[in-house]
Structure 1
């Protein structure tokens, strides 16, 4: 039987003992006395080495995160089925994050004891503090929606709804067909008294109440301006003079929806950053990982993360107040266009803008599941040099996060704090990582970052 694999995190206290158990197991199962394949992050089971070399590599570089079935070291199918409970869940595997968040704040919901929580953390003298108003609202909504779909159901209302919306998105269902499905499930298939929403509109309100929706901001068809703030009520672009609204080619009048609202030619979908950063600290798991770069990073001279760089250290010296709290978020930015319509003959390019939280460990911060979608810039053509027009809402929010911050509840430390954030951009002029000061003369730096790899 294979030994426990719960030691795969090299920051764990039992890691060194786990390495020795792995080496004993591998040499015994393979029957080799000289060399075995090295499963460290650097060698990736490609090269063979002696026990001493493999042991050193595992201690320095760490074992491959997703190498949980030791095929190259003698493990066979069915061998460790009885030992699955000791295998630590990988970050790559899906988990019920909503249930985890509820468990953090409401232990009685999951029948767990708060005494198991580690409170000797982050120099916080307050063992437990009441969440701020925004966090409390989120937790209350989450607790309500996590109630069973119906009496005796294994699935909650929220988890079922999220899965159904996921299927709708991938299946490209219309809103009307999704409403028909919900009505069929509620009226004919589910027991009486189920709390599943009856329409797509009601289902969408659930997501909006949780703060996971986006804002629609109309844009000039020629990428001149955004119709927001002082320009929100304009009907024509103040730069190019083009109409904001779609027009009927037959009568020349503005097109309207069934509710009487006019249809804009171009719409930017902006996903507010502040609530998404707050969400990172509403689960003990992610809240603890957001301070990994300071509390758990191994400083052994090997470059594995941006926190190992001189630029990171230089920034900490320049801004000691920001660096004093490891929870403050450092963000990278990336964007590129893609064709969303696989079978379309007409060229079309949508530009998503993504933010990468560099606080997370290196094996997590560049995973797609941990990217923060900031905005969707519509086509049919890419924004080109006018991308800074679309970045205005993000720039404004980042400025506020840098200067003022936002009240955030830390579920790991069980206390409130003022969260700040900074954007790290790669300047091709200075070739160092540095935060952007958001002045007009430096707006070119944003454009440079979009066109260069981040990280």
Structure 2
């Protein structure tokens, strides 16, 4: 006998009295357990969350539900004696009194988008009373099966928002209220965030911010704003926009966090990831890498990269859920003060969400500021100490996951995340990876086969022999004159991969001296999948372009302090015995050295032409900043440009400038360099 037949039979047994769907389904479950009709558990419900709002609008349960909703909603969501009306016509967009909203809900019915919310608010002060029949002899701990509780407790169902999502949506709805009745420019939430932003920008103290709130409330009694700084901060905190301050030892040796603190620390990164799925549009975009990406073998997105594919192949359980998030970590240091003579360093650690399409993943609103390290100096190798909370959370997101509500499917799921790689400049790579980027073994690709030498006069390390990366039949491999005076027959360097090598140590006077370029084991190896990542640490191309641009412009224009063609460099060439035409010579009086002009040296007229090309370039709107402000015609130099300006210089402008002012044998390599860099983008 099917469950519908059982319902009909039970209705006939009760003299034709109609039962609601939930009670009938409960009877079926108990009948299937062999208890029979007379052994059922009677459940008294004041209002059935899944039923009353679907009943006819003239029915008694529907009218009672609307009254309960208005009684519970008005004390919390009203402004004055009005509230947003959730009927079909108003759609939560018009303000009305309680009586008028009652009439609208009875006449027009509720808007389907707000039906679940109306049910929840109406049942807020109601409880489910469970009574047992007199002849029942079961224990209080008796249950009816795996899914019975889900029929009566809607919050336990994976369909619909979970508790965190409900709380978040509740705060959003509350924040959408106008600042005061009739206000159209500001909502309560937008005004609080705007005011809080001004506090941060102008350095208003907490007490001053609280006094300002009191003054606004006294001047505008109808304004719906918090009365204290803590109340305003809690509004922002409940939306997941807060931060946690974790103190560190002055010597950067430990954090006062986790077991070293009385209370456990929590970070807000996971909640930011959950928020991605609380919007239907954004939740759909989070699946772009799997459903919207064009898969033709070309590299357009990190999902096309070998690192992404290798992680998916090794961990199929993780990759089977397209909503699981792949992250990148970017870190760099800067001085937040405009006067650079102040000793201070700030290191933001930012997470990049690669599930999003490429035109969105790098937008400011989609970046997650997970950690902000601020102090009098750079954390250097001790940066791992400050990343402990982040790594702990990444481990939890990988091994356990976090229950997340997906607005697109209206279900909750277990969200997991993995870290694909880090992005930094070259000094930052040393801090994150543990590989020293200074000294004889500075190259993380060549590692122990790095070709390096110390330049005696320039007092720095120089890294040579790049021709080994050329094709075996490339003519430059046999060119002695233009390079180091030797031919190059060696092959490619095997990429350093896998696990961290064992350190070779020597004991000298009770001190341990290490010959390994690794100065530490990176904290990223605490992630169980990190050792299997194909590309663990990446360099930021724009940082490299900025450095190359500085050296090129400084050398071509012979800018003091920035040119690489100076007396020390010429003496090093003489020491190496190469490029004899560039060796310095004694002056006629024999008291000082003179250097001959190199092939790339320009006259003042050529420098003026070079600078005028950059100065007068007309660029499309929005493609770059005002580059002409960086060109100083009188001093014949270029300075004050940013990383993106250097990016634009190297890709588009430098080729025109060198073609106009330099010889072809010098201009052609620069033109090819620009084409090579454009190939990355």
| TM-score grouping bracket, smaller chain normalisation | 0.5 to 0.7
Give the drift of 1:416.
0.6
Q: CA deviation at 1:321?
A: 1.2
Question: Following superposition of structure 1 onto structure 2, how do residues 236-251 of structure 1 map, counting pairs within 5 Å?
Answer: none
For residues 299 and 213 of structure 1, do their structure 2 counterparts lie closer, same or farther at Cα, with a shift above 3 Å needed? Answer: same
Distance 1:453 1:278, change over 3 A: farther
Distance 1:450 1:109, change over 3 A: farther
TM-score normalised to the size of structure 2? 0.40
How far does residue 419 in structure 1 lie from its aligned partner after superposition?
Answer: 0.2
Give the corresponding residue for 1:168.
199
2:498 & 2:337 partners in 1: Cα distance?
Answer: 36
Equivalent in 330, 334, 337 of residue 338 of structure 1:
334
1:157 to 188, 193, 196: 188
Q: For 1:212 and 1:433, how far apart are their aligned partners in 2?
A: 38
SS of 2:92's equivalent in the other structure is: helix
Q: In structure 1, what is the Cα distance between the partners aligned to 2:300 and 2:235?
A: 40
How far residue 353 of structure 1 moved from its aligned partner, in angstroms, is 0.6
Listed as ranges, the gaps of 5+ residues in structure 1 are: 1-102, 116-126, 235-268
Deviation at 1:377, TM superposition (A): 0.8
Given the alignment of the two structures, is residue 376 of structure 1 paired with residue 372 of structure 2, yes or no? yes
Deviations along 1:323-366, one digit per CA (max 9) or x if unpaired, are 11111000000111111222474210011110000001001112
User: Pick from 205, 214, 224: which aligns with 2:253?
Assistant: 224
Shift of 1:193: 2.7
Q: Counterpart in 2 of 1:134? A: 164
TM-score (norm 1): 0.59
Corresponding residue of 1:438 = 526
How far off its partner does 1:319 sit? 1.3
- Could you say what secondary structure the match of 1:422 adopts? strand
User: Matches of 1:205 and 1:142 in 2, distance apart?
Assistant: 13
Is contact 2:308-2:420 (8 Å) kept? Answer: no
- The answer to whether the 8 Å contact 2:288/2:357 transfers is yes
Q: SS of the counterpart of 2:372?
A: strand
- Other structure's SS at 1:212 match: coil
- Partner of residue 100, structure 2: none
Deviation at 1:280, TM superposition (A): 0.8
Offset at residue 128 of structure 1 (A)? 9.1
For residue 202 of structure 1, report the CA deviation from its aligned partner. Answer: 1.9
* Correspondence 1:402 to 2:431: no
> Matched residue of 1:350: which SS?
strand
1:416 aligns with 2:412: yes
- 1:109 match: 92
- Contact persistence 1:395–1:438 (CA under 8 A): yes
1:153 is paired with a residue of what secondary structure?
coil
Q: Deviations over 1:38-63 (max 9, x none)?
A: xxxxxxxxxxxxxxxxxxxxxxxxxx
> Which of residues 239, 242, 252 is equivalent to 1:210?
239
Question: Shift of the alpha carbon at 1:441?
Answer: 13
Structure 2 stretches lacking a partner, 5+ long: 1-85, 95-110, 115-156, 423-432, 434-443, 446-494, 500-522, 543-679
Name the SS for the 2:392 alignment partner. helix
Aligned equivalents of 1:373 and 1:110: distance in 2? 34
Aligned equivalents of 2:314 and 2:177: distance in 1? 48
Structure 1 residue 270 displacement after superposition: 7.7
Q: Distance in 1 between matches of 2:166 and 2:193?
A: 21
How far residue 442 of structure 1 moved from its aligned partner, in angstroms, is 7.3
Q: Could you say what secondary structure the match of 2:349 adopts? A: strand
1:243-293 alpha-carbon deviations (Å, 9 max, x no partner): xxxxxxxxxxxxxxxxxxxxxxxxxx9842111111111111211111110
Higher helix share: 2
> Quick one: which of 300, 306, 309 aligns to 1:304?
300
Determine which structure has more spread, i.e. the larger CA radius of gyration. 2
Distance between the aligned counterparts of 1:450 and 1:300, measured in 2? 24
Q: Which residue of 2 aligns with 1:146?
A: 176
Displacement after TM superposition at 1:175 (Å): 2.6
What corresponds to 1:75 in structure 2?
none
Tell me the C-alpha RMSD between the 2 structures.
Answer: 3.5
How big is each residue's C-alpha offset from its partner over 1:390-422, in whole Å with a ceiling of 9 and x where there is no partner?
Answer: 111111110110011000000111111000000
Number of matched pairs: 300
User: Of the two structures, which has the highest relative contact order with CA contacts closer than 8 Å and spacing of 6 or more?
Assistant: 1
